[in-house]
């Protein structure tokens, strides 16, 4: 996969807003396994194509997409509840953190640059996972699905995070791993960086002029070249 040069410096920014799952928490691959398992349990066949459309999406979008893929008889509520229970069981002790996440967040805090989370996950899920990962206290504000009317790909989560931080959107750096999240941050007018996890950048994403970095270590070097 061709990516933007890793040495490409980022423009100055006054705040950093992170997506959560797949961007700072290494949870998407675990969740993918669970999604396939639960679909099989329920008598449906999950595919990579359907799963990719779920990455970064809100519960509402996921529900609609699964109904379109499998028909209105798909038991989304049962599917969602079962996935949550299994995810909670597998993640109740330690949440894996993406490479470079702690270092980047620590650098930002040392430089007094405010940080936020903008996630499509529900509040309870977000706080539990960030707490188990030891990251909960490192963010100035956390925007979840429960805080917005219009989730990603609408810009509302990012706009609300910027508002809470008191920083204009154009002065914010947004970090995302999914197409849905990239669209949301870009629509909010933020300097947007995609750090691919399970989903590779599409032609559409590249046409938005999104910077693409291999890891948060690369983002850190691009943000703070002397680090």
Q: Which numeric CATH code is attached to 15-26+96-223?
A: 3.40.50.1000
Give pTM, 2 decimals: 0.83
What whole-number distance in Å separates Cα of residue 178 and Cα of residue 92?
25
Task: Spell out a b/e string for 197-206, using b for 16 or more CB atoms within 10 Å of the CB, else e.
Answer: bbbebeeebe
Q: How far apart are the first and last CA of the chain?
A: 26
What whole-number distance in Å separates Cα of residue 75 and Cα of residue 148?
25
Tens-place pLDDT, residues 125-149: 899 889 989 999 999 999 999 999 9
With a cut of 70, which residues of the chain have pLDDT below it? 1-8, 93, 227
Q: Which residues pair with 16 in a beta bridge?
A: 115, 173
Active-site pick, 19, 147, 177, 197: 19
What whole-number distance in Å separates Cα of residue 123 and Cα of residue 94?
18
Query: What pLDDT is attached to residue 52?
Result: 85
Neighbours of 70 (CB within 10 A): 19
Under DSSP, is residue 143 helix (H, G, I), strand (E, B) or coil? strand
Query: Is 19 known to be catalytic?
Result: yes
């Amino acid at each position: 996969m061709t990516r933007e040069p890793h040495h490409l410096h980022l423009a100055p920014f006054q705040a950093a807003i992170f997506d959560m799952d797949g961007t700072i928490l290494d949870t998407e691959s675990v969740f993918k396994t669970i999604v396939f398992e639960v679909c099989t349990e329920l008598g449906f066949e999950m595919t990579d194509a359907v799963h990719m459309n779920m990455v970064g999406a809100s519960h509402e979008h996921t529900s609609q997409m699964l109904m379109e893929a499998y028909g209105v008889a798909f038991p989304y509520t049962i599917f969602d509840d079962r996935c949550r229970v299994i995810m909670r069981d597998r993640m109740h002790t330690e949440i894996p953190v993406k490479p470079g996440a702690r270092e980047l967040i620590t650098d930002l805090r040392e430089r007094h640059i405010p940080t936020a989370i903008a996630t499509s996950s529900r509040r309870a899920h977000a706080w539990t996972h960030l707490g188990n990962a030891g990251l909960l206290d490192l963010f100035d504000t956390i925007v979840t699905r429960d805080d917005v009317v219009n989730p990603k790909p609408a810009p509302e989560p990012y706009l609300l995070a910027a508002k809470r931080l008191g920083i204009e959107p154009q002065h914010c750096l947004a970090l995302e791993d999914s197409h849905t999240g990239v669209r949301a941050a870009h629509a909010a007018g933020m300097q947007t960086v995609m750090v691919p996890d399970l989903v590779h950048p599409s032609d559409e994403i590249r046409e938005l002029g999104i910077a693409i970095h291999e890891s948060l270590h690369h983002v850190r070097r691009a943000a703070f070249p002397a680090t």
